[in-house]
Structure formats: structure tokens, C-alpha cells
Amino acid sequence: MIRFETVSKLFGATRAVDRVSFTLAEGTLTTLLGPSGCGKTTTLRLIAGLELPTEGRIEIEGRDVTALPAAERRVAMVFQSYALFPHMSVRENVAYGLIVGGMAKRAALARAEEMLDTLGLAGLGDRQPSALSGGQQQRVAVARALVLRPRVLLFDEPLSNLDARLRRRVREDIRDLQRRLGLTVVYVTHDQAEALAVSDIVVVMREGRIAQMGSPRELYDAPADPFVADFMGEANVIEAEVAAGPDGVARLVIGNHALEAPLTRQAAGRMRLAVRPEAIRLTPPDGTAGLPGTVRRAVFVGGHMEYEVDTPAGLLFATAPSSEPAVAAGTLVSLAFSRAIPLG
């Protein structure tokens, strides 16, 4: 369990982390998600002990570690660059923490070898890290962290140095490992798809604070504000007058147009709504319901079509499976929302 109590970290006058509090349960995988400069990496480094907080209190497994330096925390970390020591072999890299911790060299190297086997790196122990592929280097970094049997394992953007094909696999490997060993993992990323795919809990950060924290589903379906809505996948934010209707289907009035749409929760009055691009359907205009619009741009990106549609509510972004017939730019359309998310 990791607990932050109103933790702040100041660099000069900048508050990189600003009065953050949270509790992360044992055996879960939590991602810290946010744009660059939001404080997610600093938060991770605060857990690791690579930064000491300016104020507040940090507990790991019930122990107050606020002032404890990294070396004394038993928290392992996999760095974005992997940080493999270039002057040591793969095996020596993995044994490093054991040897530094006082284990006899021979025993440490043997344990390192076992760990390399477990992670499917058998036979690579004598190589130099630079002789491995990116994916292998990453697994060595993980082996090096796991061999110390840490209470907490931290990942700083672990996929950013891998090519796109490898990312999905490594992501699943990390998730499997975490489940199998029951590890408490904290994972930093700026990629929302990655966060949604691996996490039990996602913490969205913004300007040093927690914008919202919850399960991937909660954050996607019920973002607390436009920032989270936009960050958790794309979202169109629309001003509308909302009147509750039967069966959770509400009546939205946008300008002098009215349409019906299911809401993710009960709400009424004038408010902002987030509408996901995949929740917007383009149909030929029939003159009755729906929001009228003109397709400004239609782009084929493989799996789906992307549309930009000029509407009285502004320029909206919509997607449609490419199995459906494409709509050409310049076409007049009518928009229907299959789901809308009330914000605030």
C-alpha cells in the first residue's frame, strides 16, 4: 500500500506536485497519466525516494518513508531509458542490487541467472546490454528490479522506447507479471490508451494535482471535467440545455436545434456535455431531429473514418467504422449522439 498525505514538491518556486493525497491498494496496478509537466514523473520519483517531498507524508506498507532516501526504501524502478549499466554484462546488471545489498557474488550471479530464465532471457547473461534489442533490454531492466523482491515496482514510461508493434506485447507482459506476483505497481505514461489497457486504477494529473482518480471505465465514461474527458480519449465538448426525459434519454437543446441522446448519468439544466467521437453518428439529413452539419474533412485512416463536421455547436470530431459507407467532404449531414457525458 502506498499513501500520500498532502504531499508537495517544490522546485524553486514551481510546485511540481501540489498537495497530492491518495492511497494505492496492495497488489494493484495504478497508472499516473497526464500531459508532460503535470507532475506524474515527480510523483513516481517521490515514491522511489529519488526526490524527497517538500511537505507532506509518504507511507509505504504502513511505514513512514517520507525522509528515507531511495537506497533504503526497497522500491524498485524500471527507468524510461532502462538505465542498464553499460560497463557490466547483463548478468552483472541483474546481480548488482543483490551484491550491493551484501549477497555473496557467486550466489547473486546465480540468482540473477534464475531471474533471467524466468523472464525468457536465458542465455543472454554474458552479453553487454548494448548487444540486446530494445525489448530485451527492457526485460533485463525488469529482471533487475524484480530480483530484489521489491514491495513496490515503479515503471517510468516503460513503452516509450519500443516500436509500436512491441508495445502491446510488453504491456501485456507487464500486466501478467504484476498479476502473477501480486505486485503493487505504479506506472507513469502519457498515453491514455496504454493507461486504459493496463490499469486497475488511473490517476489523471494536471499541473501538479490530481484531476481525477478511478477505474479506467469510470474515467472514460464519467470524466469529472473537460480536461479529463479530453485526455481520456478524444471528446467534443458541447454547451447544451438539458431536460431529463424517460428511460435516461434526455432532450438536448443546442442553439435552436433539439435532439435526443442517452446520458451517462442523470442531469438537467444548462451544462457542458462531452461527446466521444465514436458516439456521433452521421446520417443523411431528414429535416426533423438531429444536429445539422456540413462535413469539412473526411479522412480514411485504415480501421475507421475520421470526420470533421461544421455544426451550430462548433467543429465536431467524429469517427465511424470504415465498414460503413464513407461520407464525402462537403456533404450535408445530420448528427445523432448515441451517448453524452454531462460534465461538472
All cell numbers assigned to 32: 499516473
One-letter amino acid for residue 173 of the chain:
D
Nearer to other proteins, 105 or 217 (CB): 105
Q: Rule CB under 8 A: choose which of 52, 224, 258, 267 binds other proteins.
A: 52
Nearer to other proteins, 97 or 277 (CB): 97
Is residue 148 a contact residue for other proteins (CB under 8 A)? yes
Using CB under 8 A, count the residues that bind other proteins: 29
Nearer to other proteins, 147 or 203 (CB): 147
Cβ at position 313, least distance to other proteins in Å: 43
Cβ at position 78, least distance to other proteins in Å: 9
Helices 134-146 and 164-181, packing angle to 10 deg: 20
Residue 287 falls in which region: left (phi positive, over 0), alpha (psi -120 to 50) or beta: left
Q: What phi and psi values does residue 45 have, to the nearest 5 degrees?
A: -70, -25
**Long-range contacts of residues 20-25, Cβ cutoff 8 Å, at least 24 apart:** 20/56, 20/208, 20/209, 20/210, 21/56, 21/210, 22/203, 22/210, 22/213, 24/184, 24/186, 24/201, 25/1, 25/184, 25/201
Cβ at position 209, least distance to other proteins in Å: 24
All cell numbers assigned to 109: 550471479
Binding mask 58-97 for other proteins (x = CB under 8 A): ---------x-xxxxxxxxx-xxx-x-xxx--------xx
Nearest to 58 by CA among 6, 14, 17, 16: 6
DSSP state of 163: -
Binding mask 184-223 for other proteins (x = CB under 8 A): ----------------------------------------
Give the H or E element holding residue 38: none
CA 156 to chain centre: 11
Nearer to other proteins, 91 or 206 (CB): 91
Cβ at position 121, least distance to other proteins in Å: 18
Cβ at position 151, least distance to other proteins in Å: 12
Cβ at position 222, least distance to other proteins in Å: 36
Stretch that binds other proteins, among 42-50, 225-233, 276-284, 289-297 (CB under 8 A): 42-50
Residues that bind other proteins (CB under 8 A): 48-50, 52, 67, 69-77, 79-81, 83, 85-87, 96-97, 100-101, 144-145, 148, 154
